[in-house]
Structure 1
Amino acid sequence: MKVSYKWLSEYVDLRAISPQQLAEKLTSGGLAVDGVEPRNQGVTGVVVGVVQEMERHPDADRLNVCQVDAGQGELLQIVCGAQNVKPGIKVPVALVGAKLPGDKEIKRAKLRGVASSGMLCSASEIGLDTRLLPQSQTSGLYILPDDAVIGTDIVEVLHLDDFILDVDLTPNRSDCLSVRGLAYEIAALLGTNTTFPSEVSLQLPDAPSPVRVQLESERCVRYDALVLGNVGSVPSPLWMQMRLMAMGVRPIDVIVDVTNYVMLEWGQPLHAFDAGTIAESTIVVRQARPGETLITLDGVERHLDEDMLVIADPVKAIGLAGVMGGANSEISLGTTSVVIESARFDAPSTRRTGQKLGLRSEAQQRFEKGIDPAAVRNALLRATQLLIELAGGQVSGGVATAQRDVGASTLSRVVKFSPSRCRDLLGCDIPDEVMRDLFRNLGFTVTLEGAEWAVNVPSRRPDISLQADLVEEIARLYGYDNIPSTLPTGPVTTAARDARQRLLEHVRNALVTRGMYEVRTYAFTSPEVYEALGLEEGHPLRKMIPLAYPMSDERRVLRTHMLPSLGEVARHNLSHRVDGGAIFEFGRCYEAREWPIQTQPREREVIAMMWFGSVPDSLYERARAYDFFDAKGAIEQLVTGLGIAVQYERAQVSWLHPGRSAAISSNGVVIGYVGEIHPSTAAAYDLQTSVYAELDVEMLLQQRPGAATVEALPRFPGARRDLALLVNKDVLVGQMLNEISKVSQVHEILRSARVFDVYAGQGVAADQKSVALALHFGANERTLTDAEMEEVVQDVIASLQDKFDARLRA
């Protein structure tokens, strides 16, 4: 927010404080000022002059010899090459000895033999920002209005004796997007009063308005309109143009300039329509209709949807509410009657409309952050005052209004405040009277209610709703430098990590040791990215919780699954010439417990992992695509270190390949999934063959043993027996190992079993496969005999034969 120091000084007495000191004061009070820039870029000795006579240079076709009256008692002869120079125009005249921006000094000179005593100046030569000027004023001389007094210093005429403060506002301080809000803020910081009017008084005709207003959408709670006649598209006065330019706004004409001026002054955006273009003299605030289009003021045809709020008449849309007006109701040279609009539009709706259409305006910025309801009518009346004063406008009837925000609750709120609690929180003994004065300086009303105060907060401060907000106001106005540093008091306990933190630290170390990289992604996403997961209608993962104030259309809901988040990281890396990688994230997914939402959602913490692209070349292996077993190996190393025994079962989830994925379970409870990403899902995220795995943190904590069991190393040698069994191809090897584990619970000497080969081909029936198993035996107190190991081997064979129709391979 750029703001004029001189404009602020009209409402707060700043004679005792310089612009730089004011910037320091605002910064110390929580409103950081990024810079203070003088409007005068080094102009001295430049005055208003009028070209009295002009003739061609005798020796140069493109030069003119001008006789200029600059209020010096005699005409000055100045040679000028500007194409728009002519007798009768008033322009800035740099006298001999004058200085211009860039340390340029004007001296007497001879141009092609003709003496020149000064220089006629363009806008850029006197330091004006030509980006904010009309095209006619950016080339050639800068033409001054006819009422400019000859001989007057141009710094005074163009109000260049000013400073611009660039205030970096935090998102919660929308009240300071106006001179009004900053005036109250500065007055509070300086301990003085502001003269900014609380209300605008204007006598309106005692007659109904020529226009009618209808609210047909819940997204507009207040709409006021006033009709003015005898108003045309003429330039605004120079002082207003210069003030707008100081704030970074381009002057257009008196009608548009007044609406912009009042927006900067009051913080309330306004818009002006050509009254003659409004059908049936009726304004309708409604949602856009399917397939409706509107050509906006920038000349672009916009395709609207039903989520967009529009201003319309009974026939057509004439503007995008809070964003931009329509070309079909634009003020033109033939305009004689205008309708001035002042309204409160829904902030999220305004933001979404601007984002969808790629539009951004000063008005939209203010509507997005919320409008002060007390400023709606006052800003409209203030604009009417200025149009009457500056353009001779004539009011036609009273204010046409429609509203849903009736009631005092919309204009102020009462917040409870405890002075003693404030002192405890700040660690500073601030007297009650000082706190009461600080609130009064802010324009707050304080009512005593015993030990507590009732602080009445005006509607211009929407950021204050809690006692903590009032405590913050006391702290910053009292001065952070005046609050002493104090040590917190209370019992001191030895810091220790809880079970969850210890588990996540183990997981992080295990995965990083395997060469994986930890990433952090947004918990915000959009519903569209979940279409790739192949979820059926009504699936719980489709029930995403929307954000009240999304940062963008791509970040408008809370995620329900981690795959899209990691897929975004993988796609970004692959598109930036990274061959592949292995990544993981500790993230939260948010699941609604009921729909519509009535209670807090469930936050499910997940360890999500992804392997994408290819393994890089190394001394030990050539580049290859990551596969299922890379993920399975990482998971087994991870859960083994946690002391958790897991089993793998065939998974049936839509986002994983049906034949190359598995559900991970422990003690009959599913704790996660691992598998190759379904080809259609991978294609939607611009990925080739990729592998995804996830583990539920809560389930891991439940399955992790409370204490580790330590066993001595065996004193007696173990033994191994190998079996080759023929089974049907559909039999899962994991199920065979589970069955063997049941046998080991009966025979303690069977310590473990593993698969070291699976074969299908020549010598084996087409519908069968050969599974080679290694059985490991051992005992703590003796050497095993062949007979007792053979007994266990036969039990294993019998169990597998009974369960899977397995038989020894010949």
Structure 2
Amino acid sequence: MRASYKWLAEYLDLADLSPAELADRLTSAGLAVDAVEPLNRGVERVVIGKILEVRPHPQADRLKICQVDVGGGERLEIVCGAPNAAAGLVVPVALPGARLPGGVEIRIAEFRGVSSHGMLCSADELGIETRYLPKRDVEGLLILPEDLPLGEDVVPHLHLDDVVFDLDLTPNRSDCLSIRGLVHELSAILRRPHRFPASVPGPRASGECPIQVRLETPRCPRYEAQVLEGIAVRETPLWMKMRLLAMGVRSIDLVVDVTNYVMLEWGQPLHAFDADAIAQGTIVVRQAREGERLVTLDGQERALTPDMIVIADPEKAIGLAGVMGGENSEITPSTRRIALESARFDGASIRRTGQALSLRSEAQQRFEKGVDPAAVSNALHRATVLLVQLAGSHPVGPPRRVPAEADALKPTVISFSPQACARFLGVDVPEDEMYACFESLGFGVARGEDEWRVEVPTRRSDVQLPADLYEEVARLYGYHHIPATSMRLPVEAPESSDDLKLVRKVRRALVDWGLCEVRTYALTSPEAEAPVAPSGVAVPLLRPMSDDRRTLRRHLLPSLAEVARYNLAHQVSGGAIFEVGKAFLAASWPQDALPEERAVLGMLWFGEREGNPFERPRPFDFYDVKGVCDALLARLGIQAAYRVSHHAYLHPGRQASIEVGGVMVGTVGELHPDVGDRYEVGRAVYAEFDLGRLFPLASSEVRVQSIPRHPASRRDLAVVVPLGVESQALVDEARRTLSERGVLRMVRVFDVYTGVGVPEGQKSLAIALWFQRDERTMTDAEIDDAVEAVLRAWEAAFGAKLRS
């Protein structure tokens, strides 16, 4: 919220307070001022002048020589290149020795043989924020009203001698989104009376209002309309234009500028319709119909829903209530009659409409936070008076009000205990001081012995509870009066669960092995998860902040791939990342129960691993990742088996499920090339563990074995088996066969071969077996017997034959 110092000073005596001091007082009372910005950014010795004569420059086609009257009978010859320079215009003139924003100093200069005694200025050259000015005021010279006195300093006439406060208001202080609210606030802070009118009488009007109003929705409890005709003047006066600029609102035309001016002054949004565009002279406030469409003032066609409030006539919608008007009722240069609207709309409905249509306006901001019911009629009267004064209009009949009689504006009455307030604040505030705080805020107070009854006016809708009154006392009495106290409470370290200990253990291990932990959003979109095709349905958010974050994630791969894609796009050659996060699974939605929250460890290796003197850079592969999975399982004391898996998002033949006792606890595999391309990560390897299944299997016991005193013996076997036989099955069968003998220490597959010398439909597996006893060295006969037992078991179970 921006606020003009000069505008505030019209209603309050601020002569003894500089803008900086006033900003400090506001901030100390809870209304934070982020910046104090003077509108004059270095303009000196710039006066008002009138162009008397313009002739072309003899040596330059784009330059003109202007004779300029700067008052006091002084005429200057100034060379100008502005396309709109013409005789009779009143413009800002920078005299020799003048200074402009950016440290520019004006001197007598020569342009192609002609001396220029100054400079004619545009709005941009004076440091004015041109984005808030109409197009005609930013193209070429800034044209001033003809009645300004020549030779006088342009700064006060352009209202550049003002200072703007940039206020960072908390959401509950919607009353301060207006000059009226800030004046009341400053009056309470400074304990000074203000001159802001309590009400505005409407202008006298004879006859009957030609507009009828029907309310067909409970979301509009109050609607008022005033018809005016005869718009004689279209140009917004300079003072209003510059005041809107100071408040950060763009000037459009006189009618729209008046409605914006009154909104900033009273906090009540208004809208003006072309009265002749309203069919049958009837305004209908209703909910939009299914499939109804409206072209708004920005030229966009909007698809409306029944949750939106529209202003309509019996034939069509003509505006989105509280958000934006319709193009079919827009004020144009040919408009002769206008209908001014002032109303109260349901704030939640206005907020939903703006979010659904991606619209944001000053009016919407005020409606969604809540407007003062007492301002509805007063703002309408104020705008009518201004249009009568500035545009030469006259009202046609009194305002049409629905309901005809305004609801009694009952103040909120709160019971207040001075003793409870003092205990709550921790400081003894005198009761007379509390009374003075409420009185300065305009609150009515009926004092009792133990309890007071405080009446809060409708403009302060944020004050509803005794605690709100305590806050008002603290703010106005001064936070600096409240002593700082140190909280001394016994603090005990929370007990850590076994799962949290295991999570910390996993994190430490992965970081030690070169992985980087990341934290990503638990929110995603169905489009981002489509390549993974996770099970279940996506759980949507009720009010998503963006389209990319509108559902709960069902898989960690899209989140990790987003991190990988960002790094690869920023010239990172590759890396390994992991996250311990939640995946949310639901068989259907909506459902009675909340979605299942699955704790998951996700890991992703992308790009290339760094080279070293002995190895060139190369892409990460399946076995890099499997090694980390094996090490992690060993760290947790878990022995797992790898089985063939068939996940569509992983590369066929380069993936496996990780099982413990027949229960799948994880997955590892290279991404399918199509999935890698969809996520823009190329060749990458992904692994995940379901921590809910993994952690119950983990062991915290540390087993120590003495170093074997007797050597182990290795036997390498090459067997031919059908292609469909998993190597893990042979490893498991060997362990089962020799489990009672206790001599098999390790089994490892070290080669797989198909091709010449191996029958079609079969493959050769090379498997190493290590044999060892603790008490003595094994004999060759014992080892041969164990090998024979394994070969017989393999042949019986899989048809395995020793490769010759």
State the TM-score, normalizing by the size of structure 1: 0.80
User: How many angstroms does 1:490 deviate by?
Assistant: 2.4
Residue 648 of structure 1 is matched in structure 2 by 642
Q: Tell me, what secondary structure is at the counterpart of 1:674?
A: strand
**What is the letter of the counterpart of residue 563 of structure 2?**
V
Q: How does 1:145-184 map to 2 (within 5 A)?
A: 145=145, 148=148, 154-169=154-169, 176-183=176-183
1:774 corresponds, among 768, 773, 791, to: 768
Q: Tell me, what secondary structure is at the counterpart of 1:534?
A: coil
Q: How does 1:576-587 map to 2 (within 5 A)?
A: 576-587=570-581
Provide the C-alpha distance between the structure 1 equivalents of 2:725 and 2:741, rounded to a whole number of angstroms.
Answer: 24
User: How many angstroms does 1:505 deviate by?
Assistant: 3.2
Query: Does residue 1:748 correspond to 2:750, yes or no?
Result: no
Report if aligned partners of 1:350, 1:364 keep a CA contact under 8 Å in 2. no
Q: How does 1:57-456 map to 2 (within 5 A)?
A: 62-65=64-67, 70=71, 75-80=73-78, 123=123, 127-138=127-138, 142-145=142-145, 148=148, 154-169=154-169, 176-183=176-183, 185-187=185-187, 189-190=189-190, 202=202, 210-212=211-213, 224=223, 226-230=225-229, 232=231, 234-280=234-280, 281-283=282-284, 286-287=287-288, 292=293, 294=295, 296-298=296-298, 300-302=299-301, 304=303, 309=308, 313=313, 318-319=318-319, 324-341=324-341, 342=343, 343-344=345-346, 346=349, 349-355=352-358, 361-363=361-363, 370-372=369-371, 374=373, 377=376, 379-380=379-380, 382-391=382-391, 392-395=393-396, 398-399=399-400, 428-429=426-427, 431=429, 433=431
Q: Tell me, what secondary structure is at the counterpart of 2:606?
A: strand
Report if aligned partners of 2:268, 2:372 keep a CA contact under 8 Å in 1. no
Residue 546 of structure 1 is matched in structure 2 by 541
User: How many angstroms does 1:261 deviate by?
Assistant: 1.7
Q: Tell me, what secondary structure is at the counterpart of 2:21?
A: helix
Provide the C-alpha distance between the structure 2 equivalents of 1:144 and 1:430, rounded to a whole number of angstroms.
Answer: 58
Report if aligned partners of 2:227, 2:397 keep a CA contact under 8 Å in 1. yes
User: How many angstroms does 1:338 deviate by?
Assistant: 2.3
Unaligned runs of 5+ in 2: none
Q: Deviations over 1:235-286 (max 9, x none)?
A: 2333211110112222222211022223333444443222222344445655
Report if aligned partners of 2:79, 2:119 keep a CA contact under 8 Å in 1. no
Query: Does residue 1:702 correspond to 2:696, yes or no?
Result: yes
**What is the letter of the counterpart of residue 509 of structure 1?**
R
Residue 514 of structure 1 is matched in structure 2 by 513
Report if aligned partners of 2:541, 2:550 keep a CA contact under 8 Å in 1. yes
User: How many angstroms does 1:509 deviate by?
Assistant: 3.2
Query: Does residue 1:489 correspond to 2:488, yes or no?
Result: yes
Residue 624 of structure 2 is matched in structure 1 by 630
Q: How does 1:671-710 map to 2 (within 5 A)?
A: 671-710=665-704
Report if aligned partners of 2:714, 2:769 keep a CA contact under 8 Å in 1. yes
**What is the letter of the counterpart of residue 646 of structure 1?**
A
Residue 522 of structure 2 is matched in structure 1 by 523
Q: Deviations over 1:653-679 (max 9, x none)?
A: 443345433333334443332223344
Report if aligned partners of 1:286, 1:312 keep a CA contact under 8 Å in 2. no
**What is the letter of the counterpart of residue 702 of structure 1?**
P
1:572 corresponds, among 566, 569, 577, to: 566
User: How many angstroms does 1:297 deviate by?
Assistant: 3.6
Report if aligned partners of 1:79, 1:111 keep a CA contact under 8 Å in 2. no
Q: How does 1:588-603 map to 2 (within 5 A)?
A: 588-591=582-585, 595-596=589-590, 602-603=596-597
Q: Tell me, what secondary structure is at the counterpart of 1:565?
A: helix
**What is the letter of the counterpart of residue 394 of structure 1?**
P
Report if aligned partners of 2:203, 2:385 keep a CA contact under 8 Å in 1. no
Report if aligned partners of 2:226, 2:380 keep a CA contact under 8 Å in 1. no
**What is the letter of the counterpart of residue 756 of structure 1?**
F
Provide the C-alpha distance between the structure 2 equivalents of 1:594 and 1:441, rounded to a whole number of angstroms.
Answer: 58
Provide the C-alpha distance between the structure 2 equivalents of 1:338 and 1:96, rounded to a whole number of angstroms.
Answer: 48
Q: 1:432 to 1:698 in 2, by over 3 A?
A: farther
Report if aligned partners of 1:77, 1:116 keep a CA contact under 8 Å in 2. no
Q: Deviations over 1:216-239 (max 9, x none)?
A: 7x9x65673524221537123332
Q: Deviations over 1:736-790 (max 9, x none)?
A: 3344444565443333322222222333332222333333333444444556555
Provide the C-alpha distance between the structure 2 equivalents of 1:755 and 1:415, rounded to a whole number of angstroms.
Answer: 82
Provide the C-alpha distance between the structure 2 equivalents of 1:701 and 1:402, rounded to a whole number of angstroms.
Answer: 67
Report if aligned partners of 2:518, 2:578 keep a CA contact under 8 Å in 1. yes
**What is the letter of the counterpart of residue 277 of structure 2?**
T
User: How many angstroms does 1:301 deviate by?
Assistant: 4.6
Q: Deviations over 1:627-686 (max 9, x none)?
A: 322222222222221222223333344433454333333344433322233444333323
Q: Deviations over 1:493-514 (max 9, x none)?
A: 4688654444333333333333
Percentage identity across paired residues of the two chains: 45
Report if aligned partners of 2:717, 2:767 keep a CA contact under 8 Å in 1. yes
Residue 758 of structure 1 is matched in structure 2 by 752
Report if aligned partners of 2:413, 2:453 keep a CA contact under 8 Å in 1. no
Q: Tell me, what secondary structure is at the counterpart of 1:532?
A: coil
Q: 1:453 to 1:362 in 2, by over 3 A?
A: same
Report if aligned partners of 2:283, 2:311 keep a CA contact under 8 Å in 1. no
Provide the C-alpha distance between the structure 2 equivalents of 1:782 and 1:473, rounded to a whole number of angstroms.
Answer: 88
Higher mean Cα deviation, 552-561 or 486-495?
Answer: 486-495
Paired residues, number: 788
State the TM-score, normalizing by the size of structure 2: 0.81
**What is the letter of the counterpart of residue 77 of structure 1?**
R
Provide the C-alpha distance between the structure 2 equivalents of 1:408 and 1:587, rounded to a whole number of angstroms.
Answer: 52
Across the aligned residues of Structure 1 and Structure 2, the Cα RMSD in angstroms comes to 4.9
**What is the letter of the counterpart of residue 76 of structure 1?**
E
Q: 1:62 to 1:9 in 2, by over 3 A?
A: closer
Q: Tell me, what secondary structure is at the counterpart of 2:577?
A: strand
Q: Deviations over 1:161-200 (max 9, x none)?
A: 3211223456676654433454455455546676656766
Report if aligned partners of 1:413, 1:459 keep a CA contact under 8 Å in 2. no
**What is the letter of the counterpart of residue 330 of structure 1?**
E
**What is the letter of the counterpart of residue 65 of structure 2?**
L
Q: Tell me, what secondary structure is at the counterpart of 2:656?
A: strand
**What is the letter of the counterpart of residue 331 of structure 1?**
I
**What is the letter of the counterpart of residue 533 of structure 2?**
G
Provide the C-alpha distance between the structure 2 equivalents of 1:644 and 1:466, rounded to a whole number of angstroms.
Answer: 59
Residue 731 of structure 1 is matched in structure 2 by 725
Q: 1:624 to 1:317 in 2, by over 3 A?
A: farther
Report if aligned partners of 1:759, 1:770 keep a CA contact under 8 Å in 2. yes
Provide the C-alpha distance between the structure 2 equivalents of 1:332 and 1:752, rounded to a whole number of angstroms.
Answer: 89
Report if aligned partners of 1:108, 1:118 keep a CA contact under 8 Å in 2. yes
**What is the letter of the counterpart of residue 539 of structure 2?**
M
Q: Tell me, what secondary structure is at the counterpart of 1:340?
A: strand
